[in-house]
Copies of this chain bind each other. A is one copy, B any other.
Amino acid sequence: MNKGLLIVISAPSGGGKGSILKEMFSKDANLVLSVSATTRSPRPGEEHGRHYYFISRDEFQKQIGNGEMLEYTEYCGNFYGTPRAPVEAWLEEGKDVVLEIEVDGGAQIKKKMPDCVSVFILPPSMQVLEKRLRGRGTEEEAMVQERLKTACQELSHVKDYDYVVFNDRLEDAVADVQAILQAEKLKYYRNTNSIERVLKDAETF
């Protein structure tokens, strides 16, 4: 059995990453979503190991020191990060692991796990992105402006990603991400075991 794929998916806020992932997970039983660790307190309804691994600040810093965090960031006084151990266990099992992650984290992962497949979800245009952000209808104008500004900064990181998927129609974007995973699994260097078997076989002819 081949190892699973590590998939980094990033998108600016409003990029539609959530809908794409929801579709992907409903269609592919081999896909698992990595769970982040955080030092913030659980909110009502949040479960340890499902929504987050809730750990202490001391524990988090110890894990950083031991190289046990694939990436991390500090935000509003709390740490957030991706613990390495569960990701590697899933990959060994042949599961494809999705990291839904912002752009700084994406760059850290690519450095530590260069074999990962990174996908940046792009809006078809900034106008569409703006429309989608406003379309939520739940956000104040100042918040929309703030999110747009952040989105623009995030977009500048697209060059660090392997693939780009333009999220115009949801079904097309999902099919694109699925094709990327299917193709990556066909890369020569991911199949050396199966190839070796045929080559060994060929020697006896």
Per-residue contact bits, chain A 91-124, to B (CB 8 Å; 1 contact, 0 not): 0000000000000000000000000000010111
Q: What CA separation (Å) do A180 and B100 show in the bound complex?
A: 23
Verify A198–B126 contact, CB threshold 8 A: yes
A199 touches which of B156, B178, B194 (Cβ 8 Å): B156
Q: Which residue of B lies closest to A130 (CB)?
A: B205
B-side contacts of A149, CB under 8 Å? 205
Specify how many copies of this chain sit in the oligomer: 2
Q: What CA separation (Å) do A88 and B48 show in the bound complex?
A: 56
Q: What CA separation (Å) do A125 and B200 show in the bound complex?
A: 10
Verify B180–A176 contact, CB threshold 8 A: no
Least distance between A193 CB and chain B CB atoms (Å): 11
Stretch at the interface among A17-25, A32-40, A75-83, A181-189: A181-189
Chain A residues engaging chain B, CB cutoff 8 angstroms: 120, 122-127, 130, 148-149, 151-152, 155-156, 158-159, 161-166, 175-176, 178-180, 182-184, 186-188, 191, 194-195, 197-199, 201-205
